[in-house]
Structure 1
């Protein structure tokens, strides 16, 4: 934990020195510094508390993802992607992250959990595809639906395999 902290803060310090030495302004250093600090904040509870730190790390992601993206948006120039794309995609990703956490935290059959996560990932792809297409005003190939169809089929196959294995194991007992 301490070694990672020293490495992260050394990298931050090096970025600051290099940026100031090259340009005398706060330019590109915002991207690596914010990213390093965000990653460090997310990893520290995992390293310090081990399994118990997962919920805290997910909470940090939930609380800091939008401010992190807003800072990046403010320094990215005239693109203005934060409100039309960053907020809805982040919110969708955070909901997905917590749903997966909820599925993994409670003891359930692997034959239920894995297909559920695969199915949810397909729904996530549809949501992100729709958000981006609506934000950009484009109509293109529905990649989200293609991915969702594939993941739905995979989830069904895994569920059927699990059902058959479970049925066979109860018959042999």
Structure 2
């Protein structure tokens, strides 16, 4: 039995394929397996574009969080006769949505998505404070601490991305950011308690972190400048 290499039809003793007209023995690699190539092209054509995939992921997250929020709301309403404790998980679910979905959907405007993600912790802390009936601790305690964490994380991320050669310097930037957060947390707490600005445990922690960060930064650039040391440490 003789088969056509292009369409797979049994051509028997015929000089050419009765379906496609191909003469056996004169096919080229491009024409011998057109079905495989067409299958690859078809598979690529049915793949959704990047924005469509992002919107689909955001839709899945939104539907999942909405189902969870509705469940929590109904359980609180039916068992307690009102809305009380469910406000806390509802605020948490809203925080998750605001942190993820705008960033996923903003495929062309990443700055806008990052802005929503950065604002999500502040909105969450304000919501938790408002649930208690009044804005008390969020403005003087929660928001300043959240701002210090985001500021230090932004600094570490920015300098890491701008670094031409990445290695031990990334650990150095991270340790400096942690030291700044420690100082900020203790400073904000001391002011919130009504006392003077004091640093005790945060100063001790920073005194341990900063020298290590400086050493790692030095080691990173020293290894980069010395080929012998790079071979010694396998970097």
Shorter-chain TM-score bucket reads 0.7 to 0.9
Q: Secondary structure at the match of 1:108?
A: coil
What is the CA-CA distance between 1:88 and the residue it aligns to?
1.7
Moved more, 133-142 or 97-106: 133-142
Report matched runs for 1:1-173 at 5 Å: 1=57, 2-48=59-105, 55-76=111-132, 80-110=136-166, 111-137=168-194, 142-169=200-227
CA 45–83 in structure 1, closer or farther in 2 if over 3 Å, else same: closer
CA 53–114 in structure 1, closer or farther in 2 if over 3 Å, else same: farther
Unpaired segments of 5 or more residues in structure 2? 1-56, 231-235
Tell me how far apart the structure 1 counterparts of residues 79 and 118 of structure 2 sit (CA, whole Å).
Answer: 35
CA 135–30 in structure 1, closer or farther in 2 if over 3 Å, else same: same
Tell me how far apart the structure 1 counterparts of residues 124 and 165 of structure 2 sit (CA, whole Å).
Answer: 36
Tell me how far apart the structure 2 counterparts of residues 41 and 7 of structure 1 sit (CA, whole Å).
Answer: 14
> Segments of 4+ in structure 1 off by > 6 A?
none
- Give the TM-score normalised by the residue count of structure 1: 0.80
CA 24–155 in structure 1, closer or farther in 2 if over 3 Å, else same: same
Output the aligned Cα RMSD.
Answer: 3.1
Q: Secondary structure at the match of 1:31?
A: helix
Q: Over alpha carbons, which structure has the higher Rg? A: 2
| Greater fraction helix | 1
Tell me how far apart the structure 2 counterparts of residues 153 and 70 of structure 1 sit (CA, whole Å).
Answer: 37
